[in-house]
Amino acid sequence: MKQLRSNVIRAGLEALYFTGAHHLLRPLFAGVGSIFMLHHVRPVRETQFQPNRHLEVTPEFLRAVLTHLRSRHIDIITLDELHRRLTERDFSRPFACFTFDDGYRDNRDFALPVMQEFDAPLTVYVASDFADGEGKLWWAALEMVIAKACAVEATIDGVATRIDTSTPAAKHAAFDRLHDWLRSLSGRNDLAREIGTLCARHGVDEAAICRELCMSWNELKSFANEKLVSIGAHSVTHCNLAQQSEEIASAEMSTSRARIESSLQKAVTHLAYPYGDRLAAGAREFALASTAGFKTAVTTRPGMIFSESAKHLTALPRVSLNGNYQQARILPVLTSGAATAIWNGFRRVDAA
């Protein structure tokens, strides 16, 4: 199903490109700017089973994006500057921001050098448990479990279930099914318990994944001192905030900010909601982020920034740089706003 959806999106992007429809849509839907969303930036991995591949792009693709933006005379700015332009209604030049979620070490090793080539600023959103080396990167753990296993057992909705993972196709189907099930678990502890059980049963060291992929506080300290780098908050545990009580959701936002500020001795004024889709961030979370004093907060809802976005600074949409679509020719489509406009049924702002 995910493969089908991904093929349909690819066909849509290609159709927009080849028909030139994005040229017609650009004046209406390019908006005043965009916020790009990335996760990992690293060289291509050779392994066959990579269900999380949408979360990573290569340094070469990042360079192609920056080259494209420069060729269109689009300013690459910080989130503070985006905030200023939106609140002062300074839309004289188109802009783009670069944001990276979770705090991966490859952001320092592969993304930063490319950003430096263009003197382009970036914001990295840190989940404080990840920087502690205690984060649950359950989607990466699930990938490792299924890669190793011939079959996976789990109790899904009260039913003991055995899922075949013996072939590449079976592994992908199993990943989709288990991924959707794990994301549907509501309590912060339910997901941790279930993925913990799977890891223990299949010999996957969950804590090692976090330490291998994420920057520690020590590493973040020097990373945050780089001229182009800003650090934002991304909650403490990387939970689905919308599924938590108001008290917990609010504490996830403010505690993560307090921990980053005390560890890095820098003010944190920008937030990214974990998962960030409609199921994980809605009106209540947008209000909480605003009450907590964040200048901006970003979702993973697809969209460009419009002048009206100034009224929804804690519900900003982003444009995903998705590892499944790393062709340079789709870049004009992405910056035209055509792809996100179609996704949103031609609404400009979606902040409810």
Q: Rounded distance, CA 185 to CA 192, Å?
A: 10
User: Whole-number minimum distance, CB 257 to Zn ion, in Å?
Assistant: 15
Q: Can you read off the two tokens belonging to residue 278?
A: 């409609």
Residue 274 or 317: the one with the smaller Cβ distance to Zn ion is 274
Where in 264-303 is the site for Zn ion (CB under 5 A)? 274
Question: Is 217 exposed, middle or buried, given 0-12, 13-18 or 19+ CB atoms closer than 10 A?
Answer: middle
Q: Which pair of structure tokens corresponds to residue 273?
A: 């909601």
| Residue 41 · residue 111 · CB < 8 Å | yes
Torsion of CA 138, 139, 141, 142, to 10 degrees: 110
How does 107-118 read in b/e, with b if 16+ C-beta sit within 10 Å?
A: bbebbbebbeeb
Cβ closer to Zn ion: 274 or 323?
274
Judged by CB under 5 A, the chain residues 194 through 233 that form the site for Zn ion are none
Closer residue to Zn ion, CB minimum distance, 165 or 254? 254
- Side chain identity, residue 173: A
Q: Taking contact as CB under 5 A, which single stretch among the options 79-87, 93-101, 116-124, 166-174 is the one that binds Zn ion? A: 93-101
CA–CA–CA angle 330, 333, 337 (5° rounding): 145
Nearer to Zn ion, 25 or 280 (CB): 280
Q: Least distance (Å) from Zn ion to the CB of residue 36?
A: 15
Is there binding between residue 101 and Zn ion (CB under 5 A)?
yes
| Orientation of helix 168-184 relative to helix 138-148, angle to 10° | 150
CB 350 → Zn ion: shortest distance, Å?
20
Structure tokens at 244: 């938590």
Q: Output the smallest distance, CB 19 to Zn ion, in A.
A: 34
Q: How far is the CB of 90 from Zn ion (least distance, A)?
A: 30
Instruction: Output the smallest distance, CB 30 to Zn ion, in A.
Output: 27
Quick one: 26 or 211, whose CB is closer to Zn ion? 211
Angle between helices 283-291 and 246-264 (to 10 degrees): 40
CB closer to Zn ion, 199 vs 280: 280
* Token reading at 342: 């179609």
Based on the number of CB atoms within 10 Å of its own CB, is 50 exposed (0-12), middle (13-18) or buried (19 or more)? Answer: middle
Nearer to Zn ion, 257 or 348 (CB): 257
Q: Are 347 and 329 contacting, i.e. CB atoms less than 8 angstroms apart?
A: no
Nearer to Zn ion, 69 or 214 (CB): 214
Q: According to CB under 5 A, which one of 56, 102, 106, 285 is a site residue for Zn ion? A: 102
Residue nearest to Zn ion (CB): 101
Q: Where are the alpha helices (DSSP H) in 225-330?
A: 246-264, 283-291
Per CB under 5 A, the segment of 8-16, 48-56, 102-110, 332-340 that binds Zn ion is: 102-110
Cβ at position 121, least distance to Zn ion in Å: 20
- Please state, in angstroms and rounded to a whole number, the distance separating the CA atoms of residues 137 and 142: 9
Site stretch for Zn ion (CB under 5 A), options 18-26, 52-60, 97-105, 168-176: 97-105
- State the DSSP H helix or E strand holding residue 222, giving kind and residue range, or none if neither: helix 217-224
Give the binding range for Zn ion (CB under 5 A) out of 9-17, 95-103, 174-182, 187-195. Answer: 95-103
Nearer to Zn ion, 149 or 191 (CB): 191
* CB of residue 345 to Zn ion, shortest distance in Å: 26
* Cβ nearer to Zn ion, comparing 91 with 139: 139
Minimal distance in Å, beta carbon 256 to Zn ion?
A: 12
Distance CA 194, CA 138 (A): 10
Number of residues lying near Zn ion (CB under 5 A): 3
Taking CB under 5 A as the binding criterion, the range among 66-74, 83-91, 98-106, 336-344 that sits at the site for Zn ion is 98-106
Q: How far is CA 296 from CA 50, 181, 217, 308, 347, in A?
A: 32, 31, 23, 14, 21
Interaction residues for Zn ion, span 41-70 (CB under 5 A): none
- Contacts to Zn ion by CB under 5 A: 101-102, 274
